[in-house]
Amino acid sequence: MTQLLNNRYQIINTIGRGGFGETFLSEDTYMPSRRRCVIKQLKPLVNNPQVYQLVQERFQREAAILEALGEENSQIPTLYAYFSEEGQFYLVQEWVEGNTLGQCLQQQGLLGEGKIREILQQLLPVLEYIHKKGIVHRDIKPDNIILRDRDRAPVLIDFGAVRETMATQLNSQGNATSSIIIGTPGFMPSEQAAGRPLFSSDLYSLGLTAIYLLTGRLPQQLTDAYTGEFDWHQYASQVSPELMTVLDKAIQSHPRDRFPTAQEMLNGLESASANVPLAATLPPPEQEETIAVTPPPS
């Protein structure tokens, strides 16, 4: 493709598409190396000049937050630039080479307990960091976590707040509001679905992400039709009771029953790790299990 965005970025291909726009893998033609980058296109949902001005202001604020996050934490993509063009908004971000956790599951099968513990131990400090900044990610799921090729560190992508700005509207009093819910059905808790996300909402989503990677089954497939609770232990016989206890607490339906902070969940995980015999964290020799894996919604 020869199309240039902002007279600078050459689109290589489309790597994502959603209700708010598209995501492109691109090259920066201003850089001698033609550095690759990811460009997220965001379309305002309301075509109104007054609303557009509000969207622009909110977009700039959220872009500044993303810039600061990426500069201070290596497990959040760096924001290179942002711009608007023909009524649409664009974020230019670091291209993280690697596979999402969803892709890892599709390609390699179920992840073992040892790998899940490693991912959680690396991701929970990232959540603690953004939560201390007052930010709730709001869309943690297997497809929004990339295992970076160069160091195998999990990288958190696609923060929900920028997408929410595209849904800005004016209420009857002329004040800016947004009624859209950011998140992925199944992976988000009820308070988030009601428009009131909490820090522990991210922990809930992370817990369900871990369970999906351990079982290959979506949250909707694990919900008991009578109680509404998640019945996943029967599909995770290889998982230690200690890790089960940590994940069960993370996915409690009521926020007060979950870990209050990412640091508390990390403490619980590390305490559980200390109580697990080494043999419990190792895969059985010469055994492989083949299952049908259901991909998560994009």
Q: Which residues are catalytic?
A: 139
Does the annotation place 115 within a ligand binding site? Answer: no
Torsion of CA 241, 242, 243, 249, to 10 degrees: 100
How far is it, in rounded angstroms, from Cα 111 to Cα 275?
21
How far is it, in rounded angstroms, from Cα 94 to Cα 230?
36
Q: Are 107 and 101 in contact (CB under 8 A)?
A: no
Report CA 189 to chain centroid distance, whole Å. Answer: 14
How far is it, in rounded angstroms, from Cα 4 to Cα 200?
41
With H, G, I as helix, E, B as strand and everything else as coil, classify residue 140. Answer: coil
Q: Are 104 and 145 in contact (CB under 8 A)?
A: no
Q: Are 12 and 292 in contact (CB under 8 A)?
A: no
60 closest CA partner among 20, 93, 89, 92: 89
Q: Are 82 and 91 in contact (CB under 8 A)?
A: yes
Please state the residue numbers annotated as binding site for ATP.
40
* Binding site as annotated, residues: 40
